[in-house]
Structure 1
Amino acid sequence: MFNELRTQSAAILHSTELTVDERLQHLCELLKETVPHYDWVGFYFKNGNKEELKLGPYAGTPTDHTIIPFGKGICGQVAVSNQNFVVPDVQAQDNYIACSITVKAEIVIPLFIDGENVGQIDIDSNTPDPFTEEDERFLEFVNAEVAKIYTF
C-alpha cells in the first residue's frame, strides 16, 4: 500500500497546476481515504516567528486546535524535540490535547527545510496502536517531498 502511495503522493505534490495549499489538501484527503487507520490527516506549520504552530490543510473532522503553542500536546512537543512521536494510546499521555473522544492513537512527524523544523504532519487514528515503522518511514518520505515545494 505505501509503495503505491509514495508514487501518488509525489505526483500530487509536484503537480504545478495547483497551489501548494491545494496540493497539501489533496494529499491529506488521499491519505485519509486510502489508509484505513488514518482518520484525521493534517499539517501544522510554524506561525511566523511565534513559538506556536498554525493549522494548515487537513482532512477529517474540523478541529478547534488551529493554534498550538510549542511544548503543548503531541504536536507542540514535536515542535520542540524535532523527533518523531508515535503515541499508541493517547489516554496514557499527560500532555495530550484531545481533538475528539474517538481518537485512540496519534503519530506526528516533523517537517524540515534546510535543517529547520518548519512544521509537521499529524495523523489521528480511532484504532488503538495502529502505527508501525512503515507508517513512520512513509510519512518521513511525504515530509521530504513537501519540503521540496513548501515556501514560507
Structure 2
Amino acid sequence: MYDFVSAQDLPKPELYRDLAGVVKALVEGEPDAIANMANMAAAIWQFLPDLNWAGFYRVLPNSGRDSSDGELVLGPFIGKPACIRIPFGQGVCGTAAALGKAQVVPDVLAFSGHIACDAASRSELVVPIIRDGRVIAVIDLDSPTPGRFDDEDATGVQRLAQIAALAI
C-alpha cells in the first residue's frame, strides 16, 4: 500500500520536488505504461490542490501520424469522463502537443478553440511529454478556479513529464 502525505502549505517548488520524488518511487522498475500513468495521475491528484481533472492524453505508437496531423487519445485520469480523442492543434491539449510546449491557460473561456469536457473547468495546464524529440503524450490538469496555474506549476509539471518520458 502506498501512503504518501503532502504538506499543502509548501511553496510550489518544494511541493513539486516532493511530488517528483513520489512519482519516481511509484514508477521505478514498473514497465507497464498504463499502470505508471494511472499512479502518476493519482499522485498528482493527491498532491496538488484545487484540481477537478488530472491525467494523460497519449499519442498512440505506430499511428503513422506526426506532429502536424497527430491525434491524442485519452489515457489514465482522475475526474469526470473526458473527451476521448483530440486532434493535434485543437484545444489546449492539442495545441501543447502540436507546439511541443507547455500551455498555461488562466481562463479557458478566453482560449480560442477550447474543448470543454467539463463545464466546471476554468483554467488549465497542459505539458507535453517528449521522448526522442517527439511528443508521446501530454499531462493535462484542469481547475475550477480561474488563474489556478502559473509558470511555477508549468516548471513543476515539466519535471513530472521528464519522469513520465522514461516510464511510459
Q: Is 1:53 the counterpart of 2:68 in the alignment? A: no
Q: Is 1:13 the counterpart of 2:13 in the alignment? A: no
**1:32 touches 1:60 (CA, 8 Å); kept in 2?**
no
Distance change (3 Å), C-alpha of 1:126 and 1:15: farther
| 1:2 aligned residue (6, 16, 31) | 16
Instruction: Write the distance in 1 (CA, Å) between the matches of 2:51 and 2:27.
Output: 19
**Length-normalised TM-score, structure 1:** 0.91
1:4-29 Cα deviation digits (max 9, x unpaired)? 1111111112142x722112101101
**2:91 touches 2:113 (CA, 8 Å); kept in 1?**
yes
1:19-50 Cα deviation digits (max 9, x unpaired)? 22112101101211221122211111113224
**What stretches of structure 1 of length at least 5 have no aligned partner?**
none
Q: Provide the alpha-carbon RMSD of the alignment.
A: 1.4
Q: Secondary structure of the residue that 2:45 maps to in structure 1?
A: helix
Determine the structure 1 residue equivalent to 2:42: 29
For these two proteins, the number of residue pairs brought into alignment is: 148
Matched residues, percent identical? Answer: 31
**Length-normalised TM-score, structure 2:** 0.82
1:48-103 Cα deviation digits (max 9, x unpaired)? 2242111111111111x111111111111112111111100011112100011110
Letter matched to residue 5 of structure 1? L
User: What does 1:65-80 align with in structure 2 at a 5 Å threshold?
Assistant: 65-80=83-98
**1:46 touches 1:119 (CA, 8 Å); kept in 2?**
yes
**What stretches of structure 2 of length at least 5 have no aligned partner?**
1-14
Letter matched to residue 33 of structure 1? Q
Instruction: Write the distance in 1 (CA, Å) between the matches of 2:96 and 2:152.
Output: 19
